[in-house]
Each structure stands twice: as structure tokens, then as C-alpha cells.
Amino acid sequence: MGVRYYKFDEQLLNLIAATINDIIAIHGLDGEIRYVSPSVRKVLGYSPEELVGTSNLDYCHPEEVPAIGGILAAVRAGRPGTESRFEHRYLCKDGSCRWLEAEVSRITDAAGRTVELLVISRDVTARKKMEQELLNSCEQLALALDGARAGVVNFVHGGGLPAAYRQWWEMLGYSGEEAGNMPDGWLSLCHPEDREMLVREGAECLAGRRKKIEVEYRIRNKNGSYRWVLGTGKLVAGIGGEPHWTGLLIDITALKELAAKQRESETRLRDFAQAIPDVSMIVDEGGRYIEIFGPNDKLLPLPYEELKRRKLHQVLPAREADFLLNIFRRVIQTGRPQEFSMNFSLRGQRKYLEARVAPMNYRADGLRTVAVVLTDVSEKRRAERLMEFTLALRRRNSFIDDVVDGRIAGAKAMSAARAFGVDLAAPLFCCVVHVAGQEGEGASPEGSINMLSGIIELMSNLQNMFVWDCHGDIGVLVGDAAADGDAAADMRVAEHILEVIAACEPKLKAAVGVGCRLCGPEGVRRSCRQAAVAVLVARSQDAPGRVCHFRDIGIYKFLANFRGDELAREYIQDTLGKLIEYDRLKGTHMMRTLEVMLESTSLKEAAKRLFMHYNTAVRHKNHIEKLLGVSIEDVEARLALAEAIKLRKLGL
């Protein structure tokens, strides 16, 4: 099987440069940055466009500029043995410094002349910080051990076990005599997994590539167990000129165990915090997010990683940030926990949160901190508001039912109305609103109830409107909308109600019946009954957004009194039954044809409205008359048919 070679194109190279964490840069011989990979934004905060055309040395720490300049000059010159790798501090866009480990290579032309420099840099800030912290710890421990004259080692390279103070050997369980008579070398006491690393580190010092050793490894006790030690050593020339090691051995077993326990504790704490629905965090007195825990980052203004180390005023409106910061600082100053509620807009949604804040002993970069626990109680608050609204709605329903049914009247009704903010002495009119889903769309009873409650709650906020649940429809008592008796203005109010419902639920079909404007409890009773009749007529209309005023419904005022009457159903069946059955069996629309013919002044007008030829209209007319056994031309027959159609439209 032959070797396959992958063809790299510019797009693939750009993708690699954009996804790796290392920074790839090309410098001119004068130090000008000619190219830098997009990864520079993640590491240093600059965009490539900000750096291209500038000098790389302008961003290096001033103390290191001479040394870096010398290294770059040596690499440009191609001197043999030139050290091309170095570490230095680099100025970030936010003003901080990060440690970079850089590797410099020459880019040459066909003649071998250096034309540009390729610099690949890696962020080693975390490693340098850890190294410095470890070094500081080692120095402090070394001073303590040196004061006790324990752990100091001194031996000739390759000369077997080191000479160490008695306290060190006794810590390992050996007597001084046993330590001096061990037949094996020092490495025999080291853990087998650490020996290769120790040999390699020693070789680095012997080769002059490193000035000292600083390693952590395990060393065997006399009882066979191992202890962790931090070994620091330096290779110096002895009296006879032979390589000579001198340094310290520091027992860090307890530190290792403590670090392991701390990691275990942190993992346990984080797992616990992730398991509960609340969001918890640590915030310092300057308003900076230090740590964030919990599975629900929707309770935060930004995702976890974007929020950490930012300040309140960077992610929240100034008013809300000031409010929280004042509470945090008050908790820190008083040392007393505090609980409060707040209604915030988080990622486009209103959330009602309960917060608990407590002071902490922990300091972050020298600043005092608080622990904050956030609980989302939005659903709970919505349920409470819904319950309050439901109870208020029941009281309203009971009141208006008592008025309409005549159970309360006169001064008692007037007084009860005032408790609801309604003045029955003023001219009022009633609207009854019927809402239904789109045709062909089924809805559960629970869904219909929730939909109706939502619309009633929305309309309850409208000015000068008293809204209630009118036995499955929506009742609206309106006052001060227009001058007394202005039916046109009352119709505009009804149309506005339709607009509000459409904005709330666009898929709904709604019809509104409007009663006359009247005064007093008896007037309200009459207007509500009128609106209930008018909405039946409005529902019978085919056009969407249907509104009917009781004043304009003509004979329907009387026909509506026959709702539920058995004689009315028999009348419809006797008059139209054969035509209704014909439409059902044949899938025709003869009932609609008959209605248009009865509404038209002539058969020609009916044919035009039905979009059919006149001769076709004649055939349909003759067929309808034959089915029903009547003549449409007969006045009494026309009246009987029209009344039956109206009764049928009312659902009787």
C-alpha cells in the first residue's frame, strides 16, 4: 500500500491557524508584523488587523526587549547554535501581561537569504504562575527546613547516596548507619515511574542547558511506602573538580494529600451545586463574578464562561447593577445575610428571582466576597397572580350574574358595583364576545378555558371596561366611551375589542354583540341580554371580525326568543328539511343558493351574486321549488323560508 500525501490548500491552512491556540506570526527583518493568526484574539485580545503593520517589540515587556532583540538578530543572521526559543511577557489589549513561549525560525528565499521570520508563540501564563507559586512555597519551606538543618543534601554526581542530615533519614525510617551503608545508588530509593524523569533532568543540568533541578518525585520509606518530595538541586564543581550536587529535599506529602483532598472537596461541591436547580455564585465587593455554579444558566445575563470575571455593570443595566452592588456591600459591611426578590429581564424574558446573599471569609485578589443563591420563582409568582385573578374573576362573575338575573337591584346593586369600580348611574352598554379557534383545529376544554382566561386577563387592563366570564363567552361592561346614545362610537369600541383579541391570539375567530347604552341595574340587565342576542347574529355572519349592534338586527330580536324551543326546530325541519338533507347527501350548496335568491330583488341579481349563468340559476330555482314544494315567488312562502333560514343561523 503506497503512502498517501495530504494536499494542504490555503483554506485548510487558514482553518488550522484559526482553530489552534498557538499564535503564528510572520515578521519582517525590521520587526514589522506582516501576518498574525486569528488565535491572537483568544490569547491577547487583539484582532489580527490591529497588530499587522506594527512592531512586535512595541508589545514586549520593556525589561525583555534587549534580550529579545538580540535573539531575533542572531536568528536572522543564522548563527550556528543560536537559541531560537525563549519566554517573555507580552502586553495584552486589556492592559495585562501574559507569558508567551516563542520559537523563532528563518524564512529564506531560493538563495538561502533570510527574508522573514516565523514566530510561533504559546501562552504559558498559567504554567509560569504555577511555577512561581511552587517556587515561593519551596523557598519558604526550604528556609524552615534549613533552620532545623534537615533535608539538605550534598553528594558527588554518580557517587551513590547523598549525605544528608540525620533528621531527614530518620523521617524516612532509616538510621544514620543504615543510610551510610546502602549498597544501591540514590535512584534505587526513587519510585520506578519517576526515575527516568530524574535522570533526564540531571542530564539537562550536566549538559549546561539548565542551571538547576526542581522536581517533584516519590521516595521509598524503609517500610516500603512512598513519600512525595520536592527536590531542588544545583550542579557545582567540587574541590577536586568533579560534578557535585547540592540542594534541598522537602517533604511535600502532606501538601499533596491536602491538594488531593481539596480537589475532591471542590469536585464534590461543584457536583452538588450542579445537582440543584438554583444558581449560586461568588461575587466580590467590586461586583465581579468570581465563581458560578448550577445547571440553569438562563438565570444569568450571559452564559457561564462569558460571565465569569466580568462585573455587574458590564452585563446588567446600571440601575439593576447599582441595586445589587449596594446589597452585596451592605451584607459585607454588616456581616448579616439578606434575602430579597427582584424582577429582571434576562435574555429577552422577564424572570422573577428570589436571592439569598451571605458574607464569606474567602477573599478574591484581596477583595471581600459574598455568596449569592438565585431561585427562579417565576412560575410560582405566575401561579399566585393567576389564583388572585381567578378569585377576583369569580367575584365579578357572581356580581354581574346577580345583577342580570335580578337577584340584586336598586341601591344594593349600585353599592356592590362601586366596590368593583363601576358606576351604574352612568350610561353603560354591554358587549358579549364569542371566541373560537380556526375551523378544523381541535382544542381541548382545558385549552379553551386557559385561552378564555388569558383574554379576560388581558382585557381587564383596558380602561373603562369591566370584564367577566359570561358562561363561556366574554362579557364586557363599557362606560364613558362616547356620548350617551352614540351607537356608532359603541361599535368602534367593539371593533377595538376585536383588535385586542387578534393581537393576543391571531388564530381566533371572534364575534361581538353590542347592547344599547342604558343606566342603572335594570339598564345593565337589559343591555346584557341585548348583547347576548346580538352576538348570536354576529356569529351567524360569514365575514371575519363580526360585530352586530342589537339596534340593527331587526327580526332577529324576536327570533332569538325561540332559542331552545322545540317548535322552532320543527318549523326549520318542516320548512327546509328536504333541502338540508339534499345538500348533505349530494355535497351541494342549495341552502346558500336559496338564501341569496331570497335576499336578491331579482333572479338576475341572484345569479350575478352566485357567479353563475342566469339559465343555471333558473334550473336551481326550479329544483329547489320542486324539493320544497313551494314557489319562491309566493310572498308567504318567501317569508316562511327567510324566517326558517334565520332561525337555523341562530343555531335553533
pLDDT digits (tens, 9 = 90+) for 175-195: 766 666 655 556 778 888 988
Q: What is the CATH number of the domain that holds 141?
A: 3.30.450.20
On whether the CB atoms of residues 473 and 459 are closer than 8 A, the answer is no
In angstroms, rounded to a whole number, what is the distance separating the alpha carbons of residues 212 and 232?
Answer: 7
In this structure, is residue 453 part of a structural domain? yes
Q: Return the C-alpha cell found at 416.
A: 356592590
Q: In what order do the strands lie in the sheet with 546-549?
A: 465-470, 473-479, 428-436, 509-514, 546-549
Q: Are residues 102 and 151 in the same domain?
A: no
| Contacts with 330 (C-beta within 8 Å, 6 or more apart), sequence order | 338
Asked whether residue 164 carries a pLDDT value surpassing 60, the answer given is no
User: Who has greater pLDDT, 255 or 17?
Assistant: 255
**pLDDT given at position 451:** 74
Q: Are residues 523 and 591 in the same domain?
A: no
Q: Tell me what percent of the residues of the chain surpass a pLDDT of 70.
A: 80
On whether the CB atoms of residues 632 and 556 are closer than 8 A, the answer is no
| Average pLDDT taken over every residue of the chain | 79
In this structure, is residue 265 part of a structural domain? no
Write down the pTM of the prediction.
0.45
pLDDT tens, position by position, 258-315: 777 777 766 666 665 555 557 778 889 999 988 877 666 666 777 767 777 789 888 8
Q: Are residues 64 and 202 in the same domain?
A: no
On whether the CB atoms of residues 234 and 213 are closer than 8 A, the answer is yes
**pLDDT given at position 483:** 47
**pLDDT given at position 574:** 84
User: Who has greater pLDDT, 388 or 286?
Assistant: 286
User: Who has greater pLDDT, 16 or 512?
Assistant: 512
Asked whether residue 5 carries a pLDDT value surpassing 50, the answer given is no
In angstroms, rounded to a whole number, what is the distance separating the alpha carbons of residues 272 and 431?
Answer: 57
Q: Are residues 396 and 434 in the same domain?
A: yes
* For range 3-10, the mean pLDDT: 50
Q: What is the CATH number of the domain that holds 492?
A: 3.30.70.270
Residue 459 phi, psi (nearest 5): -70, -20
pLDDT tens, position by position, 113-151: 888 888 888 888 888 888 888 777 766 655 665 554 446
Domain end among 123, 155, 180 = 123
Domain end among 376, 397, 420 = 376
In angstroms, rounded to a whole number, what is the distance separating the alpha carbons of residues 46 and 98?
Answer: 13
In angstroms, rounded to a whole number, what is the distance separating the alpha carbons of residues 274 and 297?
Answer: 11
Asked whether residue 9 carries a pLDDT value surpassing 50, the answer given is yes
pLDDT band per the 50, 70, 90 thresholds, residue 432: very high
Asked whether residue 471 carries a pLDDT value surpassing 70, the answer given is yes
Q: What is the CATH number of the domain that holds 610?
A: 1.10.10.2840
Rg, Å, the chain Cα set: 45
Q: Are residues 480 and 409 in the same domain?
A: yes
Asked whether residue 3 carries a pLDDT value surpassing 50, the answer given is no
Question: Which residue type is seen at 442?
Answer: G
User: Who has greater pLDDT, 337 or 300?
Assistant: 337
Domain end among 535, 553, 571 = 553
Q: Return the C-alpha cell found at 456.
A: 379576560
Q: Are residues 445 and 462 in the same domain?
A: yes
pLDDT tens, position by position, 186-233: 677 888 898 888 888 878 877 778 778 788 888 888 888 888 888 777
**pLDDT given at position 268:** 64
pLDDT tens, position by position, 576-586: 888 888 888 98
Q: Are residues 392 and 406 in the same domain?
A: yes
pLDDT band per the 50, 70, 90 thresholds, residue 440: very low
Q: Are residues 302 and 443 in the same domain?
A: no
Taking phi over 0 as left and psi of -120 to 50 as alpha, with beta for the rest, 208 belongs to left
* For range 465-479, the mean pLDDT: 87
In this structure, is residue 234 part of a structural domain? yes
Q: Are residues 244 and 322 in the same domain?
A: no
- Give Cα separations from 295 to 279, 289, 300, 465 (angstroms): 7, 17, 11, 44
**Structural domain harbouring 623:** 563-649
Q: Are residues 183 and 315 in the same domain?
A: no
Asked whether residue 484 carries a pLDDT value surpassing 60, the answer given is no
Q: Are residues 430 and 512 in the same domain?
A: yes
pLDDT tens, position by position, 35-92: 888 888 888 899 888 888 898 888 888 888 888 888 888 888 877 766 778 888 989 9
In angstroms, rounded to a whole number, what is the distance separating the alpha carbons of residues 271 and 264?
Answer: 10
**pLDDT given at position 333:** 93
Q: Are residues 321 and 432 in the same domain?
A: no
Q: Return the C-alpha cell found at 612.
A: 353563475
Kindly give the residue spans of alpha helices, DSSP state H, lying in 20-113: 40-44, 48-51, 65-77
Map grid coordinates 520536592 to a residue: 230
Residue 202 phi, psi (nearest 5): -65, -40
Q: Tell me what percent of the residues of the chain surpass a pLDDT of 90.
A: 7
Q: Say how many domains are in the chain.
A: 5
